[in-house]
Amino acid sequence: MKESAFTVDVEDGVSIAMRDVFSKEVQQTDRVVTYTTQVLELLGKYNVKGTFFTLGEVGERFPGLVKKIANLGHEIGVHGYHHLQFFRMSPEKAYQEISSAKKLLEDLTGTEVTGHRAPAFSITPETEWGLDVISKAGFIYDSSIMPVQGKRYGWPGFPKGITKIATKNGELIEVPMSVGSILGKEVPACGGGYLRLFPFWLTKIMIDKIIDNRPAIVYMHPYELDTFPYPDYYLNELKKTGLVTQFKMRSMWINRKTINRKLENLLKRHSFVPMNKLVSDYVNNALFPETT
Q: Residues 177-211: pLDDT tens digits?
A: 999 888 778 888 888 888 899 999 999 999 999 99
- What pLDDT score does 289 carry? 47
Q: Which pTM does this prediction carry?
A: 0.94
Q: How confident is the model at residue 52 (pLDDT cuts 50, 70, 90)?
A: very high
Rounded distance, CA 109 to CA 71, Å? 8
Q: What's the whole-number average pLDDT of the chain?
A: 93
Tens digits of per-residue pLDDT, 20-39? 999 999 999 999 999 999 99
> What distance in Å separates the CA atoms of residue 252 and residue 292, rounded to the nearest whole number?
35
Residue 56 binned pLDDT confidence (cut-offs 50, 70, 90) = very high
Please state, in angstroms and rounded to a whole number, the distance separating the CA atoms of residues 220 and 53: 10
Asked if pLDDT for residue 291 goes beyond 60, the answer is no
The model's confidence at residue 286, banded by pLDDT at 50, 70 and 90, is low
Q: What percent of the chain has pLDDT over 70?
A: 97
Residue 26: HSE in the Cβ half-sphere, 13 Å Cα cutoff:
21
Q: Residue 89 in contact with residue 123, Cβ under 8 Å?
A: no
Fold of 3-291: TIM Barrel (3.20.20)
Interval 250-271 mean pLDDT: 93
Dihedral Cα 57, 138, 279, 71, nearest 10 deg: -40
Amino acid at 285: N
What average pLDDT does range 154-176 have in this prediction?
94
Does 131 have pLDDT greater than 90? yes
Residue bearing the bigger pLDDT, 2 or 179: 179
Given pLDDT bands bounded at 50, 70 and 90, which one contains residue 290?
very low
Q: How far apart are CA 191 and CA 197, in angstroms?
A: 10
Q: Average pLDDT in the 60-75 region?
A: 98
